[in-house]
Amino acid sequence: MPREFHRIAIVYGGDSPERQISLVTGKAIHRALRSRYDTVDLLDVTDPSDQRLSPDRYDAAFIALHGGFGEDGTIQQVLEEREVPYTGSGSEASRIAMDKVLSKMNFSRAGVKTPSYLVVRDPSEVPNIKNAAFEPDCRLVVKPSNLGSSVGIHVVDDPKALREAIADVFSLGGECALIEEFIPGRELTVSVLGERTLPIVEIAPASERHAFYDYKAKYTVGESTYFVDPSLAVGVRERIDIAARMAYECVGCRVYARVDVRLNPQNEPYVLEVNTLPGFTPTSLFPKAAKAAGIEFDELCVNLLELSTLVSRGESRVLANSR
């Protein structure tokens, strides 16, 4: 059993483009935890040096930030230095997962299949796609290297749209743009909880307005349809789970994360990215997968807090499959 703790800080808000989603996530977690512990405070943290995050004030921190310093390892490192246990992956895994280029390099080294890609570091550069390792005439995905929640992602079909997409990505303040081969097929996500993978969730945007699972489709109720534990050909589910677990491990995650996957028409899974702080909004995918595994939202939040503090204190690597 974890050591007793009574004072919890839910760290949410932040200053990234994903702030509004973080506010919803933090409030949902607050509702789940406030009856379980003596003190559960919502801290809108816009500066990682915030002095309220102190072991004198809190026994543990539940990180509900998305993007920016909340997801790139910065706030995790601050909490490590202050010896405040916190939820989720450590600072180094967070840094790697937040950087899509670093993540893809790790995937490739570990043998995890991921879409072919190019990195653009100059906003005035439009690469010669014909010389790249893409399939002929394929659609392309242009995305920031370090944002989540589908912020700044474009699916493009022609050079003009590619140029505009690259310009938009750099307007969001990133250091580079990532160009990927678009993988046709099914959009899936695999939630990893400790030593187990939860039921797969398939996402289908409910309207042709969404070429992919974009920001509006992701966070607007009714804009997407979700299929929990979808029908898959024999053996495909196992291949998807293995790919997700390998991606999770090669990035160095701990406790929990969500792995986004595209399944092509040949039933080959391609890992897109690992999300170390997946959303906990009413439409979020990790809670849907947990519920399908028999874990209700309140119980999930308590479990994540307790299991994370065990790991961050170095007391255990075993994460309660029996809960």
Residues tagged active-site: 18, 149, 219, 258, 260, 273, 275, 279
Strand 60-63 relative to strand 7-12: parallel, antiparallel, unpaired? parallel
- C-alpha span between 36 and 323 (Å, rounded): 17
- C-alpha span between 174 and 203 (Å, rounded): 27
In the chain, at which residue ranges do the beta strands (DSSP E only) sit?
A: 7-12, 39-44, 60-63, 117-120, 140-144, 154-156, 177-181, 186-193, 196-197, 201-205, 224-228, 256-263, 269-275
Cβ-based neighbour number of residue 80 at 10 Å = 15
Strand 7-12 relative to strand 256-263: parallel, antiparallel, unpaired? unpaired
Placement of tokens 């749209």 in the chain: 161
Max CA pair span of the chain: 61
- C-alpha span between 285 and 199 (Å, rounded): 10
Instruction: Give the three-state DSSP class for 249.
Output: helix
Residues sharing a CB contact under 8 Å with residue 258, sequence separation 6 or more, in sequence order: 189, 190, 191, 192, 274, 275, 278, 285, 286
